[in-house]
Amino acid sequence: MRDRVEGDLLPGLNALRAIAALMVVLGHVELLKSQRGIPSAFNTPGSWLPDGHLGVVLFFALSGYLITFLLVKERAAIGRTDLRKFYMRRILRIWPLYYTVLLLSVVLFPFTPGTGTWLFSLLGMPNIGHALRMDWLPSPQIWSIGVEEQFYLFWPVILRFLPPARVIPALLVFFIGYALLPYGVDFLNSRTLKDPELYHASALFFHGTRFDCMAMGCLFGYMRATDHSFVTKLNGRSIGWASIGLTALCWFGGVHFDRFNDPIYAILFCMVILNLSGPIRVFPDPDRTVLGPIGKISYGIYMYHWMIILFVLDLVPYGSIANDLVYNVVVHTLAFGGTLALSWISFNTLERYFLQKKARFRVLKT
pLDDT, tens digit, 9 for 90 and up, residues 20-73: 999 999 999 999 999 999 999 988 888 889 999 999 999 999 999 999 999 999
Q: Is residue 194 part of a domain?
A: no
> Is residue 163 assigned to a domain?
yes
Any domain includes 202: no
* Chain segment 177-206, per-residue pLDDT in tens: 999 999 999 999 999 999 999 999 999 999
What mean pLDDT comes out for the span 214-240? 96
Number of domains within the chain: 1
Compute the distance between CA of residue 304 and CA of residue 138 in angstroms, rounded to an integer. 10
Residue 224: inside a domain, yes or no? yes
The whole-angstrom distance between residue 164's C-alpha and the CA centroid of its chain comes to 27
Statement: residue 4 has pLDDT above 50 = no
Q: Is residue 63 part of a domain?
A: yes
44: number of Cβ within 10 Å: 12
Q: Is residue 191 part of a domain?
A: no
Q: What is the pTM of this model?
A: 0.95
Instruction: Indicate whether 121 belongs to any domain.
Output: yes
Please state, in angstroms and rounded to a whole number, the distance separating the CA atoms of residues 144 and 137: 14
Residue 193 domain-assigned (yes or no): no
Supply the pLDDT for residue 187: 96
| Residue % of the chain over a pLDDT of 70 | 97
Domain containing 57: what range? 13-174+207-359
